[in-house]
Structure 1
Amino acid sequence: MAQGASWSGQPSIKGSTESARMALLTASLIGVSFTWGVEMTYCTPYLLQLGLTKSRVSLVWIAGPLSGLIMQPVVGIIADRSTSRWGRRRPFMVVGTAIVSVSLLVLGWTKEIVSVFVSDPETRKSVTIGLAVLSIYAVDFAINAVQASCRSLVVDTLPIQKQGLGSAWAARMGAMASIIGYAAGATKLNSIFGNTLGDTQFKQLTVIAALALPLAVGITSWAVTERVLISTGKEEEGSNGAIKMLTHIFRTATHLPNRIAAICWIQFWAWIGYFPLMFYSTTWIGEIYLRYDAPAEAKQSQDTLGQIGRVGSMCLIISSLINFASSIMLPWFVISPEDEKRDFTPRPLASLAPLVVGADKRRPTLLTAWTVSHLVFAGSMLMAPLVSSVRFATVLIAICAVPGAIAGWAPFTFIGIEINRLGSTSNGHAYRRLSTDSLELEASTLHLNHRTDDSHSSTGELSGIYLGILNLFTTLPQFVGTFISWIVFSILEPGKSPELAKEAHPDEHHSTDGPNAIAVCFFIGALSVIVASYATNRLKYIR
């Protein structure tokens, strides 16, 4: 952001306590995570049920990294320069939410919509698949815009010393949404709603998600007031705006500060491993269930999609509960970066002093916890090909929940600190730890002490572009993961899913013998996460 940028107002959050303010600030991420959960739980088996092969489904999931690659940095940089009177982030949150909600409803009723316009059965199957894929792309592109804006809003609103707390709350909200989403997926919703929201589990979940996201985003939009950018301090050439924007993204991404670059590369290696688990875990658990644990009558069920979704959701509820508990408890046991060099010495009661001091000395730093979490994740996924029961699969995924909690906390904490450090040094001012005096509580509203006349305020004006670039390094490895999955599925399971394609192709039969291809993808991803652990450990030596 140019030095001549001018601002109006101060960011504020409604709420009478810090916990209430943090909850309101990050409430939008409940809707985002719930939507992701519905998509990741049901869309893979849904596409398999429509008749796509696993190798083709893996190519459909290019939508995830492609949308992140395009939308998050582009939306970030456009929002960074937005002079909307509603703020820089909230307009994108609202518009993106509307697109997601409509696309979810289209996805849930794809067959019905197509049947209105297409009568030929074979053509109808192809068009149904095409519309479903387009709906998934629309959801992915729009939800990435919403997520980018929600994350940037947290960085924009909070001062430096609250960035870690904000990231921790964001992780908690994501974990809470996962619990709610998987609990809904594990419940027979038609026993609660009948056919009011749809005649299948999948339809009812898309309706719930289409309502939950606007509600969550609406809460945050109401509770948070952004400071308004009046001028960036330089003239923009409209005719070359797109080219300049892409050039700026490329130039920034290729000339990152050392520590931000290191954090981005950690994300790159980690997400080659996290990506397959995110998108294929429910399908994997469902296949394990049908291959090894399901009774004979379950294998003949006409609602295989709902059955696999419920079995997978039950397992993921356990994982989400552990993830949620970890997101709450880990900040107590892990030293956050802003607390590593405290300017005070805690003085507990004399009788408790030895215990408290001893425990405090043994607390790991967030960087150490992040390093170890990669190894825990990798160790679990290396055993995935050995799984032959839902119980074993549940244990492995539950173990990965703790690394998942740290993965949702650590990178955003470190990147938020680095972004704000850059803002504090942009005009020659050394980075300093802000005192608690920078928080002014008036009329139960949090007002954060931002300067309105220059670019060295306590928040990073370039949070959109840097968080967008972090997302680039989160999405680029998903292309790698997709390519790996495509190769593995093409070799090990080239046919249509024997468990899920019965309705679309009742005359085709394929064997379930041999290694599970999804488990092999998990194994390969685990090797990459080991590299991420090494890269994380090196971050302590980078200045």
Structure 2
Amino acid sequence: MPNPEPNPHRSKNKPSTSSSRPPPVRPPVRSRVPLKQLLRVASVASGIQFGWALQLSLLTPYVQQLGIPHQWASIIWLCGPVSGLFVQPLVGLLSDRCQSRFGRRRPFILVGAASIVVAVVIIGYAADIGGLLGDDITGSYRPFAIIVFVIGFWILDVANNVTQGPCRALLADLTCNDARRTRVANAYFSLFMAIGNILGYATGAYSGWYKIFTFTLTPACSISCANLKSAFFLDVAFIAVTTYLSLVSAHEVPLSSSGAVHAGEGTGSAEEAFMWELFGTFKYFSFPIWIVLSVTALTWIGWFPFILFDTDWMGREIYGGDPNGGLIYDTGVRMGALGLLLNSVVLGVTSLLMERLCRKRGAGFVWGISNILMTICFLAMLVLTYVANSIGYVGKGLPPPTGIVVAAIAIFTILGFPLAITYSVPYALISTHIEPLGLGQGLSMGVLNLAIVVPQVPSQKQILPN
């Protein structure tokens, strides 16, 4: 693994050797930002992740209740890699050169957060809108509700990508290329992701929200649907509070008032400069950058199926339930949400200890150990699935043995450690290695996101219907 501390003298002016390459975007010079301010800025991650936790724990079962077959549900989730492939790198580049008086990153964070609010409202009311458009609300297949849901879901994924990239880039801007403070800032971000996960999974695991938000229960929206809708209302309030706290805590110096050189000046066209900076900068990457990108890509080949079908795996393989069959599957999904809640607790604790671990052992070593542990846990899931099917209770309406359930929850919990490392260390490494090249932090976050989403496409293909 690469050393997390890049040589500040290595290749710093290399990009300028090509006369056809536009000048790099230089961030405004700023004073040292207190860690308390970094903590407040990172708080927006909890609002974003609250919605993600609801999305990951509840939406796969929900789409199958709308009538989408299990195999085709994965196509809906394909919007994540697709939107991440294009949206986050483009947003990163645009934010690098944004000249708004409110700063470079905050306008994108605000627009992304507002889009998340719109998306979750659309998703929550998909069944009601489908009923108004002509769906049979007593049937098991609701085509109009599915269409509305898919529209809202894609908006949500695009909005998440619009928001998260500038959030991490803003933290990188505020740390001024200090490797230690960059790790601390990303650990804060990971900590708030854990907090958002804990609150989101706890919200998703509670089945009585419809009793509090009684207006959510309608003829077209059953109890499980009403619980999802109620949870999204809580998400709207939470993301509004955390976004406000983050935006007012970050004091950005507008790029236009900093004397910075803007990419694209004197190069013919903004579009040409845009495409050059997105693809042309790859040839300037050092070997450690390629190592970070390669390991990230391989890591996410494993993470993506787990994140996509974790609670569904618990409901189907451990509890032996049918998504259209009622109580057993729903119980499994709730136990999966409990496992993810414990996973988030471990994620949060690891985030608090991350800087100390990286300082003592090195960021690369910690990242490598976490990936080995991740692999062991995924292999354990395969073994547990085999054991559950061998016992013979699956598909017979019988509850699973307590030992099987405890083992599954334990695996979910242990995976919180490597997940915390995955959420922070690669971002800190790529940020500190790319900064000496004179490239914007928005671009660096976009490039790392490419390494995350590109391998998700072949892994997604393995679960698409034939």
Shorter chain as denominator, the TM-score bin is 0.7 to 0.9
Q: After superposition, where does 1:489-504 map in structure 2 within 5 Å? A: none
Aligned residue in 1 for 2:343: 319
Which of residues 285, 292, 314 is equivalent to 2:314? 285
Asked if residue 131 in structure 1 is aligned to residue 148 in structure 2, the reply is yes
Deviation of 1:98 (Å): 1.0
Which of residues 360, 372, 378 is equivalent to 2:369? 372
Tell me, what secondary structure is at the counterpart of 1:100? helix
Asked if residue 141 in structure 1 is aligned to residue 158 in structure 2, the reply is yes
CA distance in 2, matches of 1:312, 1:123: 24
Q: Quick one: which amino acid aligns to residue 335 of structure 1?
A: C
Which of residues 382, 400, 408 is equivalent to 2:415? 400
Distance 1:188 1:125, change over 3 A: closer
CA distance in 2, matches of 1:178, 1:7: 32
Q: After superposition, where does 1:269-308 map in structure 2 within 5 Å? A: 269-291=298-320, 300-301=326-327, 307-308=331-332
Asked if residue 422 in structure 1 is aligned to residue 437 in structure 2, the reply is yes
Q: How many residues align?
A: 414
Tell me, what secondary structure is at the counterpart of 2:115? helix
Tell me, what secondary structure is at the counterpart of 2:100? coil
Aligned residue in 2 for 1:185: 204
Task: Could you tell me which runs of 5 or more consecutive residues in structure 2 were left unpaired when the two chains were aligned.
Answer: 1-14, 16-21, 218-222, 389-403
Distance 1:80 1:116, change over 3 A: same
CA distance in 2, matches of 1:420, 1:373: 25
Deviation per CA, 1:100-121, whole angstroms, max 9, x where unpaired?
Answer: 1111011011010122222567
Q: Quick one: which amino acid aligns to residue 361 of structure 2?
A: P
CA distance in 1, matches of 2:182, 2:26: 23
Deviation of 1:201 (Å): 1.5
Distance 1:52 1:253, change over 3 A: farther
Q: After superposition, where does 1:74-473 map in structure 2 within 5 Å? A: 74-118=90-134, 125-161=142-178, 162-190=181-209, 193-196=212-215, 200-230=226-256, 232-233=261-262, 236=265, 240-291=269-320, 300-301=326-327, 307-332=331-356, 334-336=357-359, 363-387=360-384, 388=388, 389-423=404-438, 462-473=440-451
CA distance in 1, matches of 2:456, 2:155: 18
Aligned residue in 2 for 1:442: none
CA distance in 2, matches of 1:83, 1:377: 42
Task: Could you tell me which runs of 5 or more consecutive residues in structure 1 were left unpaired when the two chains were aligned.
Answer: 337-362, 424-460, 491-543
Q: Quick one: which amino acid aligns to residue 404 of structure 1?
A: L
CA distance in 2, matches of 1:247, 1:164: 29
Give the structure-2-normalised TM-score: 0.82
> Which structure 1 residue ranges, 4+ long, deviate > 4 Å from structure 2?
1-9, 119-124, 196-199, 233-240
Give the structure-1-normalised TM-score: 0.71
Query: Is contact 1:288-1:390 (8 Å) kept?
Result: no
Aligned residue in 1 for 2:50: 34
Q: Quick one: which amino acid aligns to residue 289 of structure 2?
A: I
Deviation per CA, 1:316-375, whole angstroms, max 9, x where unpaired?
Answer: 11111111111112332x233xxxxxxxxxxxxxxxxxxxxxxxxxx4222111111111
Q: Quick one: which amino acid aligns to residue 377 of structure 2?
A: S
Q: Quick one: which amino acid aligns to residue 104 of structure 1?
A: V
Aligned residue in 2 for 1:483: 461
Q: Quick one: which amino acid aligns to residue 364 of structure 1?
A: R
Query: Is contact 1:155-1:463 (8 Å) kept?
Result: yes
Query: Is contact 2:336-2:409 (8 Å) kept?
Result: no
Percent of aligned positions that are identical = 23
CA distance in 2, matches of 1:413, 1:135: 32
Deviation of 1:160 (Å): 2.7
Greater CA radius of gyration, 1 or 2? 1
CA distance in 1, matches of 2:459, 2:117: 28
Deviation of 1:284 (Å): 1.0
